[in-house]
Structure 1
Amino acid sequence: MDKTQTKFPTLSMYGIDVSKMNMQETVQYLTEAIQQKRTHQIITANPIMIMAALNNATFAKAMQSAELVVPDGTGLVWAANYVGQPVKERVPGFDLMFELLKVANEKQWKVYLLGTTTEVIQESSEKLKAQFPKVRFVGARDGFFSENEDMQVVEEIRKLSPDLLFVARSVSTQEPWIYKYKHQLDIPVMMGVGGTFDVIAGKLKRAPKWMQKLRLEWFYRLLQQPSRYKRMLDLPKFVFRVRKDRDIITQKR
């Protein structure tokens, strides 16, 4: 897809075009992309990913080249408001995946699940098959493979010709891997889903609705995974950076 032909409103956040569409508009847009067989990499962005892009050229390229970047993190929604370019609403990756699966169930699309451990991906696959019986889940495999095995994995997925590919790998690998191979994969919707499979499999719990409304989902996840605290330090750094660069960001409307 030629990004110059993007037909939805965006805001530019450090060279990354973030969609202003709400959930309903996003799902409709991606439904049309699948029906038209247009290749899309979907990134569910948050402040930690923006900070990673500022410090890593490879990661930045993956984010800048994505056909659709949605505002997943509450910090990104805050930043959009702060620079006077508000998005319609937060579009959580977890919810977006399930909204797409609802459409896939209606249209009997093919879905491939990739990432995390063998145990988690298989458990997730079984639960999703039960919840969405008309979706054609054509394959699932873990995300622990080396760079030397990449093309074998890509070829296995490509032969199955899924309409949607959901990928859960490490932060440093997930988006760059999709970016590197998206044209060989030639799948309409390829989306990184982070820890979503862990939640589906019951290994992690999602924050209660009241915490989501208070924008404290990040805190709930930190309580479950204290090892994430180093990554969380990027949140105040992001706020400081946006405050400092407000005029620069605003000028790039």
Structure 2
Amino acid sequence: MRDRVDILGVLVDKVAQKEALNRVKSFIDSKDSHIIVTPNAEMIIRAHQDEELRRILNSADLVIPDGTGVVLASKLLGNSLTERVTGIDLVKELLEIGSKVGYNFYFLGGAPKVAQEAKAKVKEKYPNLDIRTHHGYLDRALEAKVLEELENTKVDILLVGMGVPLQEKWLDKHLANLEIPVGIGVGGTFDILAGKKKRAPKMIQNFHLEWLYRLLQEPKRLGRMSALPQFIYEIFQEKLKKLNKLK
């Protein structure tokens, strides 16, 4: 039985990073297809409004708490998640493990050339890794080509960086048919691996201000940031409901 925490209708696994990695390794060993999702506050608010996305998140085989806000919300609601487990950290650990045990990766997503540049940077550190890539701007013909390549290539871990909710819906639609053990929606991870964008310094992460650092790098995210106050409002409403039930 999985130990999960309900955050506004999204069930998030209560796992530390080491346990998450062990689960991924067991998924690969099992050979069945498994979807991993990485919800933050923004994704949870979107799932609150998108029934299909909520279904995909709650049926995923591993749901890691990517956002600091998700962990803080769990504490406020009285059922604390173990720790924040970010998608980028999980991917970096898997790349290191993969270089030792021989996992095959496929980077799908990002603007043209970004996945290739991410691959080049990763292979500077892990030259023996087997990585194939394709950008995320897929029309029907390109999608068919990518699916054919995935069907005919040994892939252990498929990383899909198409943004939420497209990447989750793409994995839900295609992964099982591809017989790939692990598919992970990774958002902007390829930009970070390629050196196009930087993560917030640890000090800023520790002060829970990574969202502000990202906003300063990408001002166009301002509209999406409206999800944060909505998330806070919804969490406090949920907390009030719990308190009222105790009266």
Shared fold by TM > 0.5?
yes
Counterparts of 2:68 and 2:117, CA distance in 1: 29
C-alpha deviation, 1:67, in angstroms: 1.1
Which of 178, 183, 198 matches 1:185? 178
Which of 101, 116, 119 is the aligned partner of 1:122? 116
Q: Is the 8 A contact 1:13 1:249 kept in 2?
A: no
Q: Which residue of 2 is the match for residue 39 of structure 1? A: 33
Q: Distance in 2 between matches of 1:249 and 1:197?
A: 40
Shift of residue 135, structure 1, vs aligned partner = 2.1
1:155 — aligned with what? 148
Select the residue among 197, 212, 215 that pairs with 1:219: 212
- SS of corresponding position for 1:202: coil
Q: Residue 112 of structure 1 aligns with which residue?
A: 106
CA deviation vs aligned residue, 1:4-38 (integer Å, no higher than 9, x gap)? xxx43211223322011100111011111111213
Structure 2 distance, partners of 1:179, 1:14, is 21
Q: How far apart in 2 are the matches of 1:18 and 1:134?
A: 34
Aligned: 1:13 with 2:7: yes
| Alpha-carbon offset, residue 133 of structure 1 | 2.3
SS at match of 2:195: coil
Distance in 2 between residues matched to 1:111 and 1:90, nearest whole Å: 24
The answer for unaligned runs of 5 or more in structure 2 is none
Cα displacement string for residues 170-194 of structure 1 (whole angstroms, at most 9, x for unaligned residues): 3231111111112112211111111
Do the aligned partners of residues 85 and 106 (structure 1) sit closer, same or farther apart at CA in structure 2, a change above 3 Å counting?
A: same
| Mapped partners of 1:75, 1:146: distance in 2 | 35
Structure 1: 4+ residue segments shifted above 3 A = 147-152, 247-251
Identity %: 37
Secondary structure (helix, strand or coil) at the match of 2:113 reads helix
Contact 2:106 2:155 in 1 (8 A): yes
Change (3 A) 1:248 1:152: farther
Instruction: Give the alignment's TM-score, normalised by structure 1.
Output: 0.91
Determine if the alignment matches structure 1 residue 89 to structure 2 residue 83: yes
The C-alpha deviation readout for 1:51-87, integer Å capped at 9, x for no partner, is 1011112222221221111000011001111111111
Q: Distance in 1 between matches of 2:23 and 2:178?
A: 20
Distance 2:178 2:6 in 1: 28
When the two structures are aligned, how many residues end up with a matched partner?
Answer: 244
Q: Structure 1: any 5+ residue segments left out of the alignment?
A: 1-6
Residue 238 in structure 1 maps to residue 228 in structure 2:
no
Per the alignment, do residues 148 and 12 of structure 1 end up closer, same or farther by CA in structure 2, a change over 3 Å counting? farther
Distance 1:166 1:96 in 2: 11
Q: Does 1:103 align with 2:97?
A: yes
Q: Secondary structure at the match of 2:145?
A: helix
Distance change >3 Å, CA 147–CA 53, structure 1 → 2: farther
Residue 51 of structure 2 is aligned with which of 35, 49, 57? 57
Q: Which residue of 1 aligns with 2:168?
A: 175
RMSD: 1.8
> Is 2:36 aligned against 1:79?
no
- Partner residue, 1:146: 139
Query: 1:4 aligns to what?
Result: none
**Alpha carbons of structure 1 residues 118 and 149: separation in structure 2 relative to 1, 3 Å:** closer
Structure 2 CA distance for aligned equivalents of residues 57 and 9 of structure 1: 23
